[in-house]
A and B are shown apart, each in its own frame.
Chain A
Amino acid sequence: MSRAETVGIIGAGRFGTALGSVLARAHRRVILWSRDPAIVDAIQTTRRCPRLPEAPLPEPLAATADPRVLAAEARFLVMAVSSTNVRERARELGNFLDGSHIVVHAIGAFATPSSDPAARSDGAPREIGRVSEVVAQGLPTLKIGALAGPALPADLVAGEYASMVIASAFDEVVAEGRRLLNAPPQLRLYSTKDLVGVELASALSGAYTVALGLCDGLGMGVGPRAVLITRAVAESSRLGQASGAEPRTFAGLAGLGNLLVRAGGSATPGVRSVDYELGRRLAEGIVTADAQRTEGARAAIAGAELAAKLRVRMPVLSGVAAVLSGRAEPREVAALLGDTVAVEE
Chain B
Amino acid sequence: MASDRPVREAENRLEHFNADRERLLAEVERRVVARRVAESKLGGDASLEYVLNDVAFSEIKRLEASRQKNGALDRWKDLSRRLMAMSEPDKEQELRDLVRYYGRDVVGNFDPRVYKFATGIGPSLLNTLFSPTTAFRQGFGVLGNLDQRIHPDGEVELAHRCAERGTVIITPTHSSNMDSPAIGFALMRAGLPPTTYGAGKNLFTNPFISFFMRNLGAYRVDRRLRFELYKDVLKEYSTVLLEHGYHSLFFPGGTRSRSNMIEKHLKLGLLGTSVTAYKNMVREGHANRRLYVVPATINYRLVLEAETLIDDYLAETGKSRFIITDDEFSRVGRIVEFFRKILAHEGSVVVRFGRPFDPFGNDITDDGESIDRAGRQVDPATFVRGASGEVTDDDQRDAEYTRALGRRLSAVYPKLTVFHSTHLVARALYDEVARRAGTRDIYRLMRVAQSAIPKADALAAIDRLRARIAANPAWGAEHPGFVNQASADKLADGVKGLSTFHTRVAVEERGDSLYASDIKLVYYYQNRTAHIPVESSS
Partner of B374, one of A4, A94, A100, A142: A94
Q: Are A123 and B411 in contact (CB under 8 A)?
A: yes
Which B residues lie within 8 Å of A100 (CB)?
382-383, 385-387, 389
Q: A169 contacts the other chain (Cβ, under 8 Å)?
A: yes
Q: Are B383 and A99 in contact (CB under 8 A)?
A: yes
Residue of A nearest to B389 (CB): A100
Partner of A142, one of B394, B396, B401: B401
Q: B76 contacts the other chain (Cβ, under 8 Å)?
A: no
Residue of A nearest to B401 (CB): A142
Bound complex: CA A172 to CA B385 (Å): 12
Bound complex: CA A139 to CA B382 (Å): 13
Contact A140:B372 (CB < 8 A) given known A3-B388, A99-B379: yes
Bound complex: CA A300 to CA B389 (Å): 43
Contact A140:B378 (CB < 8 A) given known A75-B387, A99-B383, A123-B407: yes
Q: Are A3 and B387 in contact (CB under 8 A)?
A: yes
Q: B446 contacts the other chain (Cβ, under 8 Å)?
A: no
Residue of A nearest to B410 (CB): A123
Partner of A99, one of B374, B380, B403: B380
Q: Are B397 and A171 in contact (CB under 8 A)?
A: yes
Q: B373 contacts the other chain (Cβ, under 8 Å)?
A: yes
Q: B231 contacts the other chain (Cβ, under 8 Å)?
A: no
Which A residues lie within 8 Å of B384 (CB)?
99
Q: Are A169 and B383 in contact (CB under 8 A)?
A: no
Q: Are A122 and B411 in contact (CB under 8 A)?
A: yes
Q: Are B411 and A121 in contact (CB under 8 A)?
A: yes
Q: A59 contacts the other chain (Cβ, under 8 Å)?
A: no
Q: A170 contacts the other chain (Cβ, under 8 Å)?
A: yes
Q: Are A94 and B388 in contact (CB under 8 A)?
A: no
Q: B408 contacts the other chain (Cβ, under 8 Å)?
A: yes
Q: Are A170 and B372 in contact (CB under 8 A)?
A: no
| Interface residues of B, count at CB 8 A | 30
Bound complex: CA A75 to CA B383 (Å): 12
Residue of B nearest to A95 (CB): B376
Q: A143 contacts the other chain (Cβ, under 8 Å)?
A: yes
Q: A58 contacts the other chain (Cβ, under 8 Å)?
A: no
Residue of B nearest to A173 (CB): B397
In the assembled complex, how far is the CB of residue B497 from the closest CB belonging to chain A, in whole angstroms?
32
Q: Are A138 and B373 in contact (CB under 8 A)?
A: yes
In the assembled complex, how far is the CB of residue B405 from the closest CB belonging to chain A, in whole angstroms?
10
Bound complex: CA A216 to CA B357 (Å): 54
Partner of B400, one of A2, A3, A75, A170: A170
In the assembled complex, how far is the CB of residue A96 from the closest CB belonging to chain B, in whole angstroms?
10
In the assembled complex, how far is the CB of residue A165 from the closest CB belonging to chain B, in whole angstroms?
19
Q: B430 contacts the other chain (Cβ, under 8 Å)?
A: no
Bound complex: CA A81 to CA B378 (Å): 24
In the assembled complex, how far is the CB of residue A17 from the closest CB belonging to chain B, in whole angstroms?
24
Bound complex: CA A258 to CA B260 (Å): 47
Which B residues lie within 8 Å of A170 (CB)?
396-397, 400
In the assembled complex, how far is the CB of residue A107 from the closest CB belonging to chain B, in whole angstroms?
19
In the assembled complex, how far is the CB of residue B237 from the closest CB belonging to chain A, in whole angstroms?
27
Bound complex: CA A65 to CA B380 (Å): 27
Contact A138:B374 (CB < 8 A) given known A99-B383, A100-B385: yes
Partner of B397, one of A95, A98, A137, A172: A172
Bound complex: CA A137 to CA B374 (Å): 6
In the assembled complex, how far is the CB of residue A99 from the closest CB belonging to chain B, in whole angstroms?
3
Partner of A98, one of B379, B400, B403: B379
Q: Which of A171-197 contact B (CB under 8 A)?
A: 171-172
Q: Which of A119-138 contact B (CB under 8 A)?
A: 120-123, 136-138
In the assembled complex, how far is the CB of residue A116 from the closest CB belonging to chain B, in whole angstroms?
10
In the assembled complex, how far is the CB of residue B474 from the closest CB belonging to chain A, in whole angstroms?
8
Bound complex: CA A214 to CA B209 (Å): 72
Q: B360 contacts the other chain (Cβ, under 8 Å)?
A: yes
Q: A91 contacts the other chain (Cβ, under 8 Å)?
A: yes
- Residue of B360, B397, B408 with most partner-chain A CB within 10 A: B397
Known: A2-B387, A91-B374, A140-B372. 19 other contacts (CB 8 A): A3-B388, A4-B387, A4-B388, A98-B378, A99-B379, A99-B380, A100-B386, A121-B411, A122-B361, A122-B408, A122-B411, A137-B374, A139-B372, A140-B373, A140-B378, A143-B397, A169-B400, A172-B394, A172-B397
Closest 7 CB pairs of A and B: A99-B383, A4-B387, A99-B382, A140-B372, A98-B382, A123-B411, A140-B378
Interface residues of A (CB under 8 A from B): 2-4, 75, 91, 94-95, 98-100, 120-123, 136-143, 169-172
Can you give 8 A-B contacts (C-beta < 8 A)?
A: A99-B382, A122-B373, A123-B411, A139-B372, A139-B373, A140-B382, A172-B394, A172-B397
